[in-house]
């Protein structure tokens, strides 16, 4: 009896450890060992709680492809179809890495086309993104019903953005919830690079000083460490290790840009009914550094889209 | 031998239960948290986790000066209040929803782009001897181009 009880206890411990491992894998977060729970816990629940406590999360949030495209548009940039990854490339992506990166890239292109009301391109790029999501085995990321809804509302930008946002969330939540944080990170990396590539290509060097788009590109320096931390949490995966190497090359160039910020002062604005985080910022990027940045981004992006 | 047969069944049950919890978390984020964004466009990113009373999650994100933002932080009803603080790079607290009756949303904009840190903490019911509550907590962002 005692022997059986012992075996059962061991199985229970294994099962609980397995559960906590799965819980810890979700959401692309990083496991930490910090423990802050101060509530009193009954002895019999102590092991379970101890495991769950270790599932504390750190999220490294990159701008989504939709946000990246929105930033380009808000800077007053023009639309240029030739900068997008041609949908003809879609069949050449067969590895998980290339499909993940290009899911991010095509979603960014789709968002870019949506914001500039490029109706036919919206459908084409949604189908390209669907092909990548399907290839990665992401169930129900982009359903035919959503493509139909997109076609029915092709002139309604609000509905289109809603669909783009929803389909992207379906993909990244599926990957996070199914223990694929490395793939989820690669999707975000693809989208972020595409936004940066399009931005750098749209800058006219004759209008460099005071160019709003240049300001947006400088802002991306603030995300480079977030990007690295996101990838570092899946370190050891060969595809991710390659990306870390490439991002570190880009960081070397970003490190040549200086950003100095004053202390942030939160002030409530009664007119807009929101808090304004006031601060002054000084940035410095020479046209030479911009050229170097542009070339580096372009080279890295080439390795993503040319497979 | 019978026990050996039970192991895979138990493992399958655990996997099914875990995936079900995750699916519930996504459904919760979709049904409860995203509608809180109102007129703001959800950025499409998904940040959600199962947290236990007293547990914290941290999020790092760059916010841009051209946008108006709304952050929506939701915890399942079975959880106590969820507290969130927004900090700058020097760890100065810029906002705490504790000062706003644990509001679930915060609207803000920035004069210049900044990387900020959000700390989300599930408070405690402080009921010694009881199993701590656990549930889904989601962090969602919406944006609008500044007018």
ipTM: 0.86
Residue A193 lies in a domain: yes
Chain B residues in contact with A64 by the CB 8 A cut-off are 43-45
C-alpha to C-alpha distances, A271 to A25, A268, A276, B9, nearest whole angstrom: 44, 9, 11, 60
Chain B residues in contact with A190 by the CB 8 A cut-off are none
Q: Label residue B97 exposed, middle or buried (CB < 10 Å: 0-12, 13-18, 19+).
A: buried
Mutation site for B-interface testing, chosen from A17, A273, A275 by largest number of B Cβ within 10 Å: A275
CB atoms A71 and B64 under 8 Å: yes
Count the domains in chain A: 2
C-beta separation of A123 from A112 below 8 A: no
Residues A158 and A32 reside in one and the same domain:
no
Residues A32 and A151 reside in one and the same domain:
no
Residues A14 and A89 reside in one and the same domain:
no
* Alpha carbon of B86: minimum distance to chain A alpha carbons (Å): 11
Give the per-residue pLDDT at A7: 52
Residue A279 lies in a domain: no
Chain B residues in contact with A168 by the CB 8 A cut-off are 44-45
Residues with pLDDT less than 70, chain A: 1-56, 307
User: Does the beta carbon of A22 lie under 8 angstroms from any beta carbon of chain B?
Assistant: yes
Give the per-residue pLDDT at A26: 36
Given strand B114-122, what is the order of strands in its sheet?
A: A57-61, B56-63, B114-122, B82-87, B93-96
Chain A residues in contact with B139 by the CB 8 A cut-off are 59
- Domain CATH for B129: 2.60.120.380
C-beta separation of A231 from A184 below 8 A: no
| Nearest residue in chain A measured CA to CA from B13 | A15
List beta partners, residue A259.
A283
Give the per-residue pLDDT at B131: 84
CB atoms A169 and B30 under 8 Å: yes
Residues A39 and A138 reside in one and the same domain:
no
Please state whether B80 falls in left (phi above 0), alpha (psi between -120 and 50) or beta.
beta
User: Does the beta carbon of A282 lie under 8 angstroms from any beta carbon of chain B?
Assistant: no
Tokens 């604005």 belong to residue: A269
C-beta separation of A15 from B11 below 8 A: yes
What is the span of the domain harbouring residue A14?
2-53
Residue A111 lies in a domain: yes
Residues A25 and A77 reside in one and the same domain:
no
Q: How far apart are CA B92 and CA A49, in angstroms?
A: 31
CA angle A64, A222, A98 (to 5 degrees): 45
Residue A199 lies in a domain: yes
Residues A12 and A145 reside in one and the same domain:
no
Residues with pLDDT less than 70, chain B: 1-22, 146-147
* Alpha carbon of B141: minimum distance to chain A alpha carbons (Å): 10
Give the per-residue pLDDT at A21: 41
Residues A219 and A153 reside in one and the same domain:
yes
* Alpha carbon of B131: minimum distance to chain A alpha carbons (Å): 6
Touching B: A residues 211-240, CB under 8 Å: 216, 219-220, 222-223, 225-226, 229
Give the per-residue pLDDT at A90: 97
What is the span of the domain harbouring residue B113?
2-145
Count the domains in chain B: 1
Residues A8 and A128 reside in one and the same domain:
no
């Amino acid at each position: 009896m005692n022997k059986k009880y012992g075996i059962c206890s061991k199985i229970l411990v294994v099962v609980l450890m397995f559960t906590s491992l799965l819980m810890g894998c979700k959401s692309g977060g990083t496991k930490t060992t910090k423990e802050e729970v101060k509530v009193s816990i009954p002895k019999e629940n102590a092991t379970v709680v101890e495991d769950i406590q270790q599932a504390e999360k750190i999220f490294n949030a990159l701008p989504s492809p939709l946000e990246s495209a929105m930033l380009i548009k808000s800077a007053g940039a023009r639309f240029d179809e030739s900068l997008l990854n041609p949908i003809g490339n879609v069949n050449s992506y067969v590895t998980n890495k290339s499909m993940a990166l290009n899911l991010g890239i095509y979603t960014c292109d789709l968002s870019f086309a949506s914001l500039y009301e490029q109706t036919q391109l919206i459908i084409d790029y949604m189908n390209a993104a669907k092909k990548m999501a399907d290839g990665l085995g992401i169930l129900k990321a982009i359903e035919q019903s959503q493509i139909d809804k997109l076609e029915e509302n092709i002139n309604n930008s609000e509905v289109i953005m809603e669909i783009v946002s929803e389909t992207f969330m379906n993909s990244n939540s599926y990957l996070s919830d199914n223990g694929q944080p490395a793939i989820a990170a690669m999707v975000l990396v693809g989208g972020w690079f595409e936004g940066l590539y399009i931005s750098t290509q749209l800058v006219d060097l004759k209008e460099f000083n005071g160019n709003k788009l240049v300001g947006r590109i400088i802002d991306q320096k603030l995300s480079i460490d977030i990007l690295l931390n996101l990838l570092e949490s899946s370190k050891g995966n060969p595809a991710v290790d390659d990306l870390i190497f490439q991002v570190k090359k880009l960081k070397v160039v970003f490190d040549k840009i200086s950003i100095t910020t004053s202390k942030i002062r939160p002030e409530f604005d009664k007119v807009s009914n929101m808090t304004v985080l006031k601060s002054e910022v000084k940035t410095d990027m020479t046209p030479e550094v911009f050229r170097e940045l542009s070339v580096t981004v372009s080279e890295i992006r080439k390795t993503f889209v040319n497979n | 031998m019978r026990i050996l047969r039970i192991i895979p069944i138990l493992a399958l049950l655990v996997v099914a239960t875990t995936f079900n919890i995750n699916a519930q978390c996504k459904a919760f984020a979709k049904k409860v948290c995203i509608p809180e964004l109102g007129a703001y466009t959800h950025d499409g990113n998904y940040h959600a986790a199962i947290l236990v009373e007293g547990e914290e999650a941290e999020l790092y994100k760059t916010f841009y000066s051209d946008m108006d933002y709304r952050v929506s932080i939701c915890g399942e009803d079975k959880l106590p209040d969820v507290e969130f603080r927004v900090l700058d790079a020097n760890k100065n607290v810029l906002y705490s929803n504790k000062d706003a009756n644990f509001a679930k949303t915060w609207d803000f904009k920035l004069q210049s782009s900044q990387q900020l840190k959000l700390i989300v903490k599930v408070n405690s019911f402080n009921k010694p001897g009881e199993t701590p509550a656990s549930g889904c907590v989601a962090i969602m962002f919406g944006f609008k181009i500044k007018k």
